[in-house]
Each structure stands twice: as C-alpha cells, then as structure tokens.
Amino acid sequence: MRDRRRYPSLPLVGAGAVVHKRRRVLLLKRRFPPNAGLWAIPGGLVELGETAKAAAAREVKEETGLEVRIERLIDVGTDLHYDRDGRVEYHFVLVDYLARVVGGTLRMNEESSDGGWFTEGESLALEMNEGTRNVVSDYFGRSARARLSARR
C-alpha cells in the first residue's frame, strides 16, 4: 500500500497542538519521515469529516495518552519537502492550536522515539524544523507577555 502522504497530488491538512503545563511544552522526537529525528509538537492528519480542532485533540491523545482542551488557534503554516529531483515529496498545511492537559497519563506511541516537557531554553536548544520552532517560540513569547501584563 502506498503511503498517501508521500508524493501527494494535493496538499494534506494536518493539525497539532502546543500542549503546555507550568511554562513547559510537550515535545516529541519523530520516528518516521518526513521529520524523523526532529522534535515536534503532537499532531497528524485531519480525517475526513473531522474538524482541525478535533483532529488536534485526537492526535495528542493517540500520540501521548493525554486528553487536552483546545484553547485557541496559534498558527497556520506549511511543511514542504522536496526530493533530490525537485519534486514535492511531502506537502502539509498545518493548523496548530494551544492546548491544556485535562486528563490522561503521558506515554509515547510508536510514532515517537522520545518525548517530554521542556522549558523555553530547553525546547529551543532541540533540533526541530522551522515551523515547530516558530510555534514554540510564539507560545513562549506570548506566555511571557501575558505574565508581564498580569503584573501591571
């Protein structure tokens, strides 16, 4: 069976979540292409008949065992990979949300080789693609601004 993600005829829609807890974010080290070996937020493809928001919550549960409440949209971006011949090998439109844990126990599934909770400094020192780095940086930037505003 052909991997429908590889060499798609159209961009595929994915949904993920920056899951946060006590100024830390949950990151997973991807086991499979296209981002094998890189750290990422939990996420995956939106299924037919499913909203992006529901897909993000489902993917977090499948990949980590955690139940989350989606709080808000963070970003819509693109993850685009070309092969050696310049053909589009992977093309995803990614809808990323902010989410808070409401239940479950952290456990990784077979899609990840590692995972855990990371502070801003720890997370930004990890190897990740530009899109992941941007949404994680955005979370920590907004989180810091919100803490400053609350003090005023």
Per-residue pLDDT reduced to its tens digit, 129-139: 999 999 999 99
CATH of the domain at 37: 3.90.79.10
pLDDT digits (tens, 9 = 90+) for 36-72: 999 999 999 999 999 999 999 999 999 999 999 999 9
Is the Cβ–Cβ distance between 36 and 30 less than 8 Å? yes
Domain that holds residue 64: 12-151
pLDDT digits (tens, 9 = 90+) for 33-42: 999 999 999 9
- In the block, tokens 């006590």 appear at 22
Asked whether residue 6 is assigned to any structural domain, the reply reads no
For 84, half-sphere exposure in the C-beta direction (CA atoms, 13 angstrom radius) is: 0
Question: pTM for this structure?
Answer: 0.88
Report the number of distinct structural domains present in the chain. 1
